[in-house]
Amino acid sequence: MRIQSLFLVIFGQLVLVPPVHAEAAVQEEKPEKYPRISFIEVRGNMVLTRSAILTAAGLKAGDRAMPSALSAARRNMLQTGLFGMHRPYKPEEAVKLSLVKFSKATNEARLIISVDENEIVKSFNITGNGPIPPSELLGYIQTKPNYVLNINTLRADVERIQLCYDRKGYVGNVSEEGFGLTKGILNIPIVVYNPRMEHSIHLIRKTLVRRKAVEVRRTPQTNGIFD
């Protein structure tokens, strides 16, 4: 996927499902109006199991398919961080719920949960790390190889890496340029600089400027007499 896209998903705001309108909430005082879920079908999952997705959704066969319950299930799934990587501008579209095969006789319907799960992380590639070796930085990463990328975990990983540099007196920021998951390799480019060194360079430059000013003042003025 595009590098900037994953960066946007991680540090952008995840748009969740809007709350149920007040009118719908009033209607839900009579849950018998809504069909029972006869069966839940999961589509689009490649690695995540059906049981794991149903656990995240919090739904089961026999539940009433009330709008608030379906909205809550969708929100719960999005908040796991396991979906939305491929849809940075509309991550909420990574999870969709729909009712089909409604039976008026039994007041039942099948629920289809369609998902677009994130890709699998196979390895890490840390670059630009400067004074801190990659082996040490890997200790701050809780994203696990051979698992589906969890956006929430990766966001926390990035924050821990940057805090590690801060504790050692450096400023280390994970760069948007080059950041991304490509063919299973999670690329984490870091831009590092030492504030103390920057301060030293600033002092040296100020000293040079002052010395130059002094030299200029000490240069004898001839006023053209000997020209």
**Least-confidence region, from 46-50, 159-163, 170-174:** 170-174
CA angle 101, 37, 52 (to 5 degrees): 115
The average confidence (pLDDT) of the chain is 82
CATH of domain 3-115: 3.10.20.310
Residue reference for tokens 């039976």: 103
Distance CA 79, CA 50 (A): 17
Contact status, residue 146 vs residue 128, Cβ threshold 8 Å: no
pLDDT in tens, 179-227: 989 999 999 999 988 766 554 444 444 444 454 454 545 555 544 433 3
- Integer-rounded Cα radius of gyration of the chain: 29
pLDDT tens, 64-96? Answer: 999 999 999 999 999 999 999 898 888 889 999
- Residue from 66, 59, 50 nearest 107 by CA: 66
Kindly state which CATH superfamily the domain 120-196 is placed in: membrane protein fhac (3.10.20.310)
Structure letter (DSSP) for residue 35: P
Instruction: Tell me what the mean pLDDT of segment 114-121 comes to.
Output: 96
